[in-house]
Amino acid sequence: NAHIICRTRDFCFVLNSKEVRLKSSPADLVTETDQQVEKMLISAIRRKYPQHRFIGEESVAAGEAVELTDSPTWIIDPIDGTVNFVHRFPFVAVSIAFTVNKQTEFGIVYSCVEDKLFHAQRGRGAYLNGKPLCVSGQTDIHRCVVVTEIGAERDDLALSTMTSNICRLLRLPVQGVRALGTAAVDMCQVATGGADAYYHIGMHCWDIAASTIIVLEAGGVVMDTDGSEFDMMSRKVIAASSSAVANGIAQVVQADSFLGDFSRNRA
Ligand SMILES: O=P(O)(O)OC[C@@]1(O)O[C@H](CO)[C@@H](O)[C@@H]1O
Ligand SMILES: [Mg+2]
Ligand SMILES: [Mg+2]
């Protein structure tokens, strides 16, 4: 269904006819399309698997709890890159992951405007439009292109944390820093080898649950920004082409003060 919405000629008509609302900040948007896509996905899956649980970005925004249990759970971001969607900036994705016992079994990221379908199943590799994916294998951080997100937060603490992290990387130096406006597609660039690392502080599980397994199955590594084991509920992630690059980024990127502010203000 998301494919139909993203690919039809009336993509712009769908956009024009839809209301845009603010969520947590002037840069955190939601449209009726986000909500419709999530409802369509959940109802279609629930008809086949009525016992399964769901964590959907817009269901959570409407008040549902964010609780990852051992039950089979679908983690859905119906539109990752809503600001891009509203502005017709061509990086917009549907992200769907499936977990059992809190372990991701498969992940799908469909970059709608590019018509790129990234997917991976645990132990069975990662693919882009059916072709196998492999990370760059880069081990020297000075030879890396690093992807991150500007984020939707506009308070001074978040902005100073985000900009100081980027400056520290640029001063290493790394060869490039990029941000596409969708964590899901950002992280998939690591799986393609087109970027060598991705880090983010403040994203939610639905942004990166699918792209995390895609990077891992493409031979990459994933960890917390402090170098500890990755936890998709922690709102901190580094995905990289190698442990050497991941650890190099963990030494430079700081999160704690920013996250302290986060934990007070949001789920
Ligand atoms: O709200 P959306 O469109 O699903 O999120 C878009 C996004 O880039 O904004 C957040 C902050 O940059 C990221 O966590 C996320 O991927
Ligand atoms: Mg979204
Ligand atoms: Mg998102």
CA-to-CA distance for 211 and 25, rounded, in angstroms?
Answer: 25
Best probe residue, ligand 1, of 22, 182, 236 (max atoms within 8 Å of C-beta): 182
Whether the Cβ atoms of residue 5 and residue 93 lie closer than 8 Å to each other: no
What pLDDT is recorded for position 38?
97
Residue nearest to atom 8 of ligand 1 (CA): 182
Q: What pLDDT shows up at residue 48?
A: 97
Task: Report the distance separating Cα 184 and Cα 210, nearest Å.
Answer: 7
**Residue from 203, 205, 208, 212 to probe ligand 1 pocket by mutation (most atoms less than 8 Å from CB):** 203
Residue 225 is classified by DSSP as T
Tell me the ipTM for this assembly: 0.92
Residue 25 is predicted with a pLDDT of 85
The pLDDT, as a whole number, for residue 21 is 86
What tokens were used for 120? 């991976």
Query: What is the length of the chain?
Result: 267
Contact 91, 81 (CB under 8 A): yes
Q: Give the atom of ligand 1 at the shortest distance from the alpha carbon of 57.
A: 4
Distance set, CA 135 to CA 97, 164, 173 (Å): 20, 27, 21
Ligand 1, atom nearest to 82 Cα: 3
Supply the pLDDT for residue 258. 62
Q: 16-42 burial, b if ≥16 CB within 10 A, otherwise e?
A: eebeeeebeeeebbbbebbbbbbeebb
> What spacing in Å lies between the alpha carbon of 145 and ligand 2's midpoint?
25
Token look-up 């502080």 returns 201
Residue 28's φ and ψ, nearest 5 degrees, are: -115, 100
Distance, CA of 5 to CA of 241 (rounded, Å): 33
Q: How far is CA 217 from each of CA 41, 168, 239, 249, rounded to the nearest angstrom? A: 25, 29, 12, 21
All structural domains of the chain, each given as residue ranges with its CATH number in brackets, are: 2-132 (3.30.540.10), 141-259 (3.40.190.80)
Q: Dihedral, CA atoms, 148, 180, 216, 59, nearest 10 degrees?
A: 100
Annotated active-site residue 79? The verdict is yes
pLDDT tens by residue, the chain, 267 residues? 445 444 433 343 344 556 888 888 888 889 999 999 999 999 999 999 999 999 999 999 999 999 999 999 999 999 999 999 999 999 999 999 999 999 999 999 999 999 999 999 999 999 999 999 999 999 999 999 999 999 999 999 999 999 999 999 999 999 999 999 999 999 999 999 999 999 999 999 999 999 999 999 999 999 999 999 999 999 999 999 999 999 999 999 998 666 654 443 344
Q: Rounded distance, CA 98 to CA 122, Å?
A: 10
Q: How far apart are CA 162 and CA 169, in angstroms?
A: 11
- What separation in Å is there between the alpha carbon of 183 and the centre of ligand 1? 6
This prediction has a pTM of: 0.91
Q: How far apart are the first and last CA of the chain?
A: 28
- Residue 191: C-alpha distances to residues 74, 117, 188, 217 (Å): 22, 13, 5, 8
Q: Tell me, what's the pLDDT at 23?
A: 85
Q: Is 82 a catalytic residue?
A: yes
